[in-house]
């Protein structure tokens, strides 16, 4: 068998998972390419952690298939998991061990020989910025350093796929910046799945975005194109001596002008007909004294809310269109059935049995 890592390092098809009678994950499929950082976005409770647990072999799907570097995770779990590094939301740390001892332990669990484990330890310590705390007890470290140790145990065996579940939750801004830098570096040598509900995290480190809602993947695209999703063509303009609103509205190509303040206006226009050039000429001609002109850009927060709200409205409409079967035990339900919701013989059978049960 060739040791070459395929271009597709992770492939999941039609994953489902339920707990009891409740379906949690619905037909989830995704791929991860070599060297790619994928952001899995979603509100709390969207199903991100359950999905990551299935992708790493910690939780069996009810149906569907997962391949890691071409190896079936269900049929060859040991072989497949050698290519996976996983940091759960709560790092799996032994707080009474020193950093060095814990990472050597993690490397040995991965099947590494002592010499190779020691070499990997030195590289991982340097990569994660842990050289100064190698002999310290993990329980005495700050949360930021504990998170680094958690990432170190996930990458010490140089996996092809690194899965990080909310890696920056609870960290201060400096710690967040350091962890994000490390994640970007991981993307140079491994494929990374990053689960988060922080939009800034996606913008700063991710190449591609998958949005999950109610156990379903509802959006998939590059982070750059996500920012352009639903964008409105327009700009914000500031004029020191603004004209009447009607003069701005009459400029060719302008669709709408909204006055934000005494001197500032939000102008939307036809996508293929940008009136900013005409506006600049008119401002110079009439002495409007243009101060600032800034193109409109939707924030990732706005885009995320728009995508999830649109999907929720669609799902609600589908639910409202589902027929509701009347309950024959109520008078209104019995009346509905009599009026044609179900065959009349069903009604007769129901009423006859009800009368029989009433007899002493």
Query: Is 0.75 topped by the overall pTM?
Result: no
Q: What number of other Cβ atoms are within 10 A of residue 149's Cβ?
A: 25
Tokens describing residue 18: 């339920």
Q: What number of other Cβ atoms are within 10 A of residue 124's Cβ?
A: 23
Tokens describing residue 86: 């996983």
255 and 210 assigned to the same domain: no
Please state, in angstroms and rounded to a whole number, the distance separating the CA atoms of residues 228 and 303: 8
Residue 349 is predicted with a pLDDT of 44
Please calculate the CA angle 146-208-300 and round it to the nearest 5 degrees.
85
216 and 242 assigned to the same domain: no
Instruction: Answer with the one of 173, 197, 227 that is the final residue of a domain.
Output: 227
211 in Cβ contact with 47 (< 8 Å): no
Query: For residue 262, what are the CA distances in angstroms to 33, 79, 85, 235, 241?
Result: 51, 66, 56, 16, 9
121 and 183 assigned to the same domain: yes
Residue ranges making up the domain that contains 280: 234-295
160 and 288 assigned to the same domain: no
125 and 20 assigned to the same domain: yes
Kindly compute the dihedral angle of the four CA atoms of residues 281, 286, 288, 292, in this order, to the nearest 10 degrees. Answer: 10
Residue 218 is predicted with a pLDDT of 92
Please state, in angstroms and rounded to a whole number, the distance separating the CA atoms of residues 169 and 165: 9
Residue 301 maps to a domain: no
Residue 319 maps to a domain: no
Please state, in angstroms and rounded to a whole number, the distance separating the CA atoms of residues 108 and 99: 14
Please state, in angstroms and rounded to a whole number, the distance separating the CA atoms of residues 11 and 101: 34
44 and 154 assigned to the same domain: yes
Tokens describing residue 298: 């939707």
Residue 199 maps to a domain: yes
Q: In a 3-state reduction of DSSP, which class is residue 237?
A: strand
243 and 340 assigned to the same domain: no
Please state, in angstroms and rounded to a whole number, the distance separating the CA atoms of residues 358 and 260: 71
146 and 13 assigned to the same domain: yes
162 and 45 assigned to the same domain: yes
Residue 91 is predicted with a pLDDT of 92
For the chain, the domain total comes to 3
- Tens digits of per-residue pLDDT, 122-149? 999 999 999 999 999 999 999 889 999 9
Residue 271 is predicted with a pLDDT of 81
Query: Domain containing 245 — which CATH number?
Result: 3.30.70
Residue 323 maps to a domain: no
205 in Cβ contact with 179 (< 8 Å): no
123 and 177 assigned to the same domain: yes
Residue 34 maps to a domain: yes
64 and 167 assigned to the same domain: yes
Residue 313 maps to a domain: no
Phi-psi region of 357 (alpha: psi -120 to 50; beta: other; left: phi over 0): alpha
Residue 223 maps to a domain: yes
Instruction: Answer with the one of 272, 295, 318 that is the final residue of a domain.
Output: 295
Please state, in angstroms and rounded to a whole number, the distance separating the CA atoms of residues 221 and 304: 12
Instruction: Answer with the one of 227, 242, 276 that is the final residue of a domain.
Output: 227
What are the 10-residue block averages of pLDDT along the chain, 360 residues in total? 70 96 94 93 91 96 96 96 94 96 96 95 93 96 92 95 90 86 89 88 88 92 74 86 92 92 91 89 93 80 78 75 58 47 43 45
Residue 16 maps to a domain: yes
Mean pLDDT of the chain: 85
Angle between the N-to-C axes of helices 114-127 and 99-109, in degrees from 0 to 180, rounded to the nearest 10: 130
Residue 161 is predicted with a pLDDT of 96
Angle between the N-to-C axes of helices 143-155 and 173-189, in degrees from 0 to 180, rounded to the nearest 10: 10
14 and 137 assigned to the same domain: yes
Query: Domain containing 38 — which CATH number?
Result: 3.40.50.300
């Amino acid at each position: 068998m060739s040791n070459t890592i395929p271009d597709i390092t992770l492939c999941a098809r039609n994953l489902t998972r339920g707990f009891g009678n409740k379906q949690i994950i619905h037909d989830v499929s995704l791929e991860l390419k070599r060297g790619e950082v994928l952001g899995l976005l979603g509100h709390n409770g969207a199903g991100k952690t359950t999905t990551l647990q299935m992708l790493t072999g910690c939780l069996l799907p009810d149906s569907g298939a997962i391949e890691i570097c071409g190896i079936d995770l269900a049929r060859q779990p040991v072989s497949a998991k050698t290519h996976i590094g996983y940091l759960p939301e709560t790092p799996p740390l032994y707080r009474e061990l020193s950093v060095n001892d814990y990472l050597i332990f993690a490397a040995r669990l991965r099947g590494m020989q002592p010499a190779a484990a020691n070499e990997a330890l030195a590289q991982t310590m340097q990569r994660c910025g842990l050289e100064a705390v190698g002999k310290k007890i993990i329980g005495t470290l700050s949360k930021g350093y504990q998170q680094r140790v958690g990432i170190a145990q996930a990458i010490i065996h140089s996996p092809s796929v690194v899965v990080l579940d909310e890696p920056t939750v609870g960290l201060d801004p400096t710690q967040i910046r350091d962890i994000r830098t490390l994640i970007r570096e991981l993307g140079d040598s491994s494929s990374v799945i990053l689960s988060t509900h922080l939009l800034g995290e996606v913008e700063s480190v991710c190449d591609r975005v998958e949005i999950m809602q109610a156990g379903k993947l509802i959006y998939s695209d590059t982070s750059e194109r996500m920012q352009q999703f639903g964008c409105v063509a327009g700009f914000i303009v500031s004029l020191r001596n603004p004209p009447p609103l009607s003069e701005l509205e009459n400029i060719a190509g302008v669709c709408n002008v909204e006055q934000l303040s005494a001197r500032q206006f939000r102008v939307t226009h036809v996508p293929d007909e940008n009136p900013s050039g005409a506006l600049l000429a008119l401002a110079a001609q009439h002495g409007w004294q243009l101060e600032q002109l800034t193109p409109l850009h939707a924030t990732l927060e706005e885009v995320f809310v728009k995508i999830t709200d649109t999907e929720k409205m669609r799902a609600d409409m589908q639910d409202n269109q589902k027929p509701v079967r009347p309950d024959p035990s109520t008078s209104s339900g019995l009346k509905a059935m009599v009026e044609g919701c179900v065959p009349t013989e069903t009604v007769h059978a129901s009423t006859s049995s009800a009368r029989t049960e009433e007899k002493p």
